[in-house]
Structure formats: structure tokens, C-alpha cells
Structure 1
Amino acid sequence: MEDERIQRVVEDILREGRRKADEIVERAKKEAEMILNSARIRAEEEKQTKIREAEKSGKVLKERTVSEAGMRARMDFLAGREKIVDGIMEEVLRRFEEIGETSEYRGWLFDSAVRACSSIEAERVVLRANERDARFLKTRLEEIAKKSGKRVAIGEPIGTAGGVRVESGDGAVSVDETIESVVRRNTERIRKRIIELISEEG
């Protein structure tokens, strides 16, 4: 369920920011082409200045120069793409902050709290969240306790975009269901999907 929600957020962001992503990718491609053209010109100039050198030697020099330029161009393009990916990852976290008042988000928060409480081998557990989510969880403590079979309390607020971290009463064990932790656990899958969508549009 959390995977589906994250995927929806990522794809919504990509749809909204497609034009910006396209512009960055297109600019990276143009810059790569310029670098390659410049490298070819430089190689030709070097060849002319060394006209008396052996033809084979000049050819090797040109090929090496163009090859190095091509590598630089590819690195520049990949760096541009990574910039897009990093920006979207930041936007994912920001978007979750924005949807914190929606019923869908609160349903996920409640389910996450119950699941995390149930997974801890302790009679008493403490829920920790940001101030907004802590207020909501406080209104559902009885339900969370009933579903998880635990004695549940609300702890001090923590700095997070959303979600909940559940700790055993003695603090020895914790289960992290904060947004940052959920995104971090899914980082590679999210990045792969973002790159696929960028490539489809590029």
C-alpha cells in the first residue's frame, strides 16, 4: 500500500513537472552535442598543425580527443538527469507534507501506527510524530491500542515531514514509519521509475 501511494505521488509530480524535466534533458543533450562538435573542431585543428606527422598518429590523436569529449558529454548528461531525480525526490517529501490533512494520508498514518505497534514485542509503546500528526494520533489512541493489543501513549514530537515512529516503553526498540524512512526504503525503486519516465519523454 505504501508503495502504491509513493508511486502515485511520484507520477503526479512527474506529470506536473514534465515540461521542466524535458527542458533540462534537452539542454543537457544540446550541451553534449556542443561539446562533441567543439571536440571535433579541436581535433581537426590539432591535425592541421601536425600535418607533417604520420597519418596514423594524427588519426589516433583525433579519435582519442573525440572519445574523451564524448565521455565528458555523457557525464554532463547523466549529471543533468541526476539533478532532475534529486529534485523530484525532494518534491516527493514536500508533497507528503502538503497532503498531511487528507483522509487518505490519515488512513495511512493510522494503519502505519497500528502495524508498527503490533510488531514491537512490548506491552507498552510510545508513538512519536510531528505536532500535526501527533494531534491526529492522539484522537485515535484507543483504536490503535485495541487493534494492536498494546498500551499506547504519545511521546514528544519529532522533526519529520510525516508518519510515525513507534518505540517500546523503555526505548530499546523502535519501528520507523516516518515519510523519510518510507522514501529511503524505496529510494532505488523510485529513482528507477523516475529515470524510466524521463527516458520515455526524452
Structure 2
Amino acid sequence: MGLEAVVNEIREKGRKEVEATRAETRAEVEEILKDAQARAAELKASADEEAGRAATHITNQEVSAANLVVKRQVLNAQKMLLDQVYSASLAAVGDLPAEFQEKALTDLLKRAAKEIKKGVVHTNKRDIPVVEEILSRLKTLSGYTVGDPVDIPGGVIVESNDGALQIDYSYGTFLGEVWESGLKDASDILFA
């Protein structure tokens, strides 16, 4: 066997080893790439899932916040409407006919006289003549005098002569009491 044959044999053997090493390296590279792609797919799926959860959470928070804003606006509108109803009711009570006003004022003064025997009666400017007439007509109210007018829609505020006791029988006070006790029922009827 000649030198050339030995060189060719060594070359051939080297080439085969290089090819085997390359094939082995390619297989390892393909395996590494395959593992990397699988890991990348897992990470992407995990990231997509986490992003989906985060998006759902953010969406839910935004929807909840929007619902709260809407609920607050609805409650504010309802309160504004109830305030308008209250003001209209107070104005309507103050605008009742003169006969009603006289009877109501007479009853309120008689009721006050049971608690305060002598005192000063305050009423709105419109009702002062009516109160003066009632006080002059009823002997049981002879201990009362008419005081300065007050800013009330109707009714009376009676104060003892010494100022120690005051009874508020104004229409606003009565309506306020009725309003507080019936507010939930009125709200349920109006906004149910």
C-alpha cells in the first residue's frame, strides 16, 4: 500500500469523522432549537394567558369604575329630583287657601298654648294679620303677642317670654319630619 493510499485512507477516515461530527452537531443543534422553540411556545402561551388575565382584570376594574360613576350620577339625579319635590311640596303647603291657613294657624297656636302659656308668636310676613286676628279672637291665647316676621313658608314659632323655651310649628319642620320618615318609601315609589 502506497503512501498515497494511506493518505487517502486517512483523509477518508477524517472526512467520515467530520461528517459524523457534523451530523451529530446538527442533531444536537436541531434538538436544542426544538427545545428552545418548545420553551418559547410555552413562554408565549404563558405570557398570552397572563396578558389575557391582566386584560380581563383591567376590563373588570374599568367596568366596575364606570358602574360606580353611573350609579353615583343616578343617585345624584334622584337626590336632585327629591330635593325639587321637597321644595315644591313646601311651596305648595305655603300656598294653600286662606281658610286652610287660618284653621291650621289656629290649631297650631292652641297646641302651642298647652306648652307655653305666655309668649311671642313668630310667623311669616303674609300670615301676621291672620295671627293677630286669631290672638284677638281667642281668649285662651291672650298671653301671646305677635313678634317679628320670620322666613318660614307657613306655620308658627312660639317663644316663651323669657326666651327659655321655643316651639317650632312651622310647615317646614312638619314637612321635614314627614319627609325623613317617608323618604325611603317615596324613593322606592319614584325610582323602583
TM-score (norm 1): 0.64
Inter-partner Cα distance in structure 2 for 1:166 and 1:140: 14
| Structure 1 position 144, deviation (Å) | 4.2
- Match status 1:125 vs 2:119: yes
Q: Which residue of 2 aligns with 1:85?
A: 82
Flag the 1:51–1:113 CA change in 2: closer, same or farther, 3 A. Answer: farther
Q: Which residue of 2 aligns with 1:72?
A: 69
Q: Which residue of 1 aligns with 2:161?
A: 169
| Structure 1 position 53, deviation (Å) | 5.4
Instruction: Specify the structure having the higher radius of gyration (Cα).
Output: 2
| Structure 1 position 58, deviation (Å) | 1.6
- Match status 1:106 vs 2:98: no
- Match status 1:183 vs 2:175: yes
Flag the 1:161–1:61 CA change in 2: closer, same or farther, 3 A. Answer: same
Flag the 1:197–1:103 CA change in 2: closer, same or farther, 3 A. Answer: farther
Stretches of structure 2 lacking an aligned partner (at least 5 in a row): 1-46
Inter-partner Cα distance in structure 1 for 2:68 and 2:138: 56
Percent identity, aligned pairs only, is 22
TM-score (norm 2): 0.67
Inter-partner Cα distance in structure 2 for 1:112 and 1:69: 50
List 4+ stretches of structure 1 deviating above 6 A.
Answer: none
Inter-partner Cα distance in structure 2 for 1:158 and 1:107: 20
Higher RCO (Cα < 8 Å, 6 or more apart) = 1
Structure 2 matches for 1:24-35, cutoff 5 A? none
| Structure 1 position 175, deviation (Å) | 0.4
Q: Residue by residue, what CA displacement relative to the aligned partner does 1:24-78 show, whole Å, maximum 9, x if unpaired? A: xxxxxxxxxxxxxxxxxxxxxxxxxx97852222211111111111111111111
Q: Alignment length, in residue pairs?
A: 146
| Structure 1 position 184, deviation (Å) | 2.5
Q: Secondary structure at the match of 2:114?
A: helix
Amino acid at match of 2:186: I
RMSD: 2.3
Q: Secondary structure at the match of 1:177?
A: strand
Q: Residue by residue, what CA displacement relative to the aligned partner does 1:66-106 show, whole Å, maximum 9, x if unpaired? A: 1111111111111111110011111112112211x332232
Inter-partner Cα distance in structure 2 for 1:94 and 1:52: 62
Q: Which residue of 2 aligns with 1:155?
A: 147
Q: Secondary structure at the match of 2:168?
A: strand
Inter-partner Cα distance in structure 2 for 1:57 and 1:92: 52
Q: Which residue of 2 aligns with 1:136?
A: 130
